[in-house]
Amino acid sequence: MSTLKNDRYLRALLRQPVDVTPVWMMRQAGRYLPEYKITRAKAGNFMSLCRNTDLSSEVTLQPLRRYPLDAAILFSDILTIPDAMGLGLWFEYGEGPRFLHPIKSRRDVEKLPIPDPEQDLGYVMNTVRAIRGHLRGSVPLIGFSGSPWTLATYMVEGSSSKVFSKIKQLLYTEPETLHLLLDKLADSVVLYLNGQISAGAQSVMLFDTWGGVLTGADYREFSLYYMHKIVDGLLREHDSRRVPVTLFTKGGGQWLESIAATGCDALGLDWSTDIADARRRVGQKVALQGNMDPSVLYGSPKRIEREVMSILDGFGPGAGHIFNLGHGMHQNVPPAHAGHFVEAVHRLSKPYHY
């Protein structure tokens, strides 16, 4: 088993005692850092950055040089699997992802291949291996994927959406076709995440960014069912160590009990869910990750500390809390504010751990 100098993130995921509450930030590598912008410019475009092992490793490590974070997260994109399926991913500047060949029919779904992680997504596996080498056991590395439902929304809509009209039309008129797509995606995500684990990821996370746009019944049928399938298919031990899995549904606070029943190790919470209420509802079944509103980082150091204290108080004493933002870091947050946030979590959380 490889030795970790700082394993408090992994220990907290497994609800084991820690000295302080571990902290990392969703999108901790990104556009709020000037050094990221320089590296991105070298790459030329976003997908070139993701596909370049040296540059994607570099941006993964950049926030760890600035802040005493308790985990690194692979720098990549949730849409790598649809891209490897042949949909032609590209990014319109300032407008997000686009697909050249979105899903328009059942025949399109039937033709989709299941990508091989080493053959079709080898650049991601190479980056995982490179990052592990650079980290030298300093902190754990998190791997990730988008959830099947979230991937499907982009594949059917062809881009980002605010109303999700195309995929919801598919859901209500051709549910069998959507299930076929989601099943292929679930199989692909299992292979992809297991590939990341074999390459060196020590924990994995599923980002269900758009699960919250569904009704309760549709969420269970079209999103949670497939995340459960993925949890069942994941490698849960590697290198003689448990590999924890975290599920995060943005807007999913009303379904915490159902998500916890999948067998995952931790639930990600967005800022719309009260962490004290979440802990009461799930008890000791899973750890909780979250859940400060990223916009708090615009505030003064005192305002940031007040919010950190509020969330620490809400969770209360004991193990099983990974402090994080309730969603991704905003691009115009001052880097110094992020640093104060990380320092405040470590300093203020000490009394909650015995």
70, 77, 120, 265: which is the annotated catalytic residue?
A: 77
Pair 341, 303: CB distance under 8 Å = no
Is 186 annotated to bind a ligand? Reply is: no
8, 11, 15, 27: which is the annotated catalytic residue?
A: 27
DSSP characters over 252-310 = -GGGHHHHHTT--SEEE--TTS-HHHHHHHHTTSSEEE--B-GGGGGS-HHHHHHHHHH
Residue from 131, 276, 150 nearest 205 by CA = 150
Is 209 annotated to bind a ligand? Reply is: yes
Pair 71, 143: CB distance under 8 Å = no
| Separation between Cα atoms, residue 204 and residue 196, nearest integer Å | 8
Is 120 annotated to bind a ligand? Reply is: no
Q: Active site includes 281? A: no
Is 30 annotated to bind a ligand? Reply is: yes
Q: Active site includes 77? A: yes
Is 232 annotated to bind a ligand? Reply is: no
Is 28 annotated to bind a ligand? Reply is: yes
8, 11, 15, 40: which is the annotated catalytic residue?
A: 40
| Separation between Cα atoms, residue 331 and residue 245, nearest integer Å | 27
Q: Residue 248: what residue type? A: F
Tokens 């079944």, residue located: 285
In sequence order, the β-bridge partners of residue 73 are 142
9, 36, 154, 226: which is the annotated catalytic residue?
A: 154
- Return left, alpha or beta for 194; rule: phi > 0 is left, psi -120 to 50 is alpha, else beta: alpha
Is 134 annotated to bind a ligand? Reply is: no
Phi, psi of 305 (to 5 degrees): -60, -40
Q: Active site includes 70? A: no
Is 327 annotated to bind a ligand? Reply is: yes
Q: Active site includes 279? A: no
As a residue count, the chain comes to 354
Q: Active site includes 8? A: no
Is 252 annotated to bind a ligand? Reply is: no
Tokens of 313: 């108080």
- Return left, alpha or beta for 135; rule: phi > 0 is left, psi -120 to 50 is alpha, else beta: alpha
Binding-site residue positions for substrate: 27-31, 77, 154, 209, 327
Residues forming the active site: 27, 31, 40, 77, 154
